[in-house]
Amino acid sequence: MDIRGHLDLLLLSVLDDAGPVHGYAVITALRDRSDGAFDLPEGTVYPALQRLERAGLVASHWDETSARRRRVYRLTDDGRRARAAKKQEWRGIVLGVQAVIGPMTAGRPA
């Protein structure tokens, strides 16, 4: 499934729900929670996280306490607000599309 354009919302949601986590955990959570539905090159998540950080929606720091040096990401307050706004926007899109194609029943439009 092509998720271009929606990656920001997915990443913000994972970070909001999972709390401070490193990139690998974000990707694993994304894969597990979507039941593997998203065919996403995993490497593209890191530049996306950097972009969200530049936008002030995510903050990060190096975690040197474990055996492996990892960058840990967490949502900022602006990120939390952006997530809520994007979620609302997404629900609007879903409702609009469903109104056109009909509600989903047994895995396919009615």
56 is a contact residue toward other proteins (CB under 8 A) = no
Q: Which is nearer to other proteins, 42 or 89 (by Cβ)? A: 42
Smallest separation, CB 63 to other proteins (Å): 11
Which amino acid is residue 22, in one-letter code?
Answer: H
Q: Which is nearer to other proteins, 85 or 104 (by Cβ)? A: 85
Q: Rule CB under 8 A: which of 17-36 touch other proteins?
A: 23-24, 27
Measured CA to CA, the distance from residue 96 to residue 90 in angstroms comes to 10
Which position among 69, 89, 98, 104 is part of the footprint of other proteins (CB under 8 A)? 69
Q: Please list, in sequence order, all residues whose beta carbon lies within 8 angstroms of the beta carbon of residue 87, skipping any fewer than 6 positions away.
A: 9, 13
Q: For residue 72, count CB atoms less than 10 angstroms from its CB and return exposed for 0-12, middle for 13-18, buried for 19 or more.
A: middle
Measured CA to CA, the distance from residue 27 to residue 24 in angstroms comes to 5
Q: Which is nearer to other proteins, 13 or 27 (by Cβ)? A: 27
Where do contacts with other proteins occur on this chain (CB under 8 A)?
23-24, 27, 41-44, 46-48, 50-51, 55, 67-71
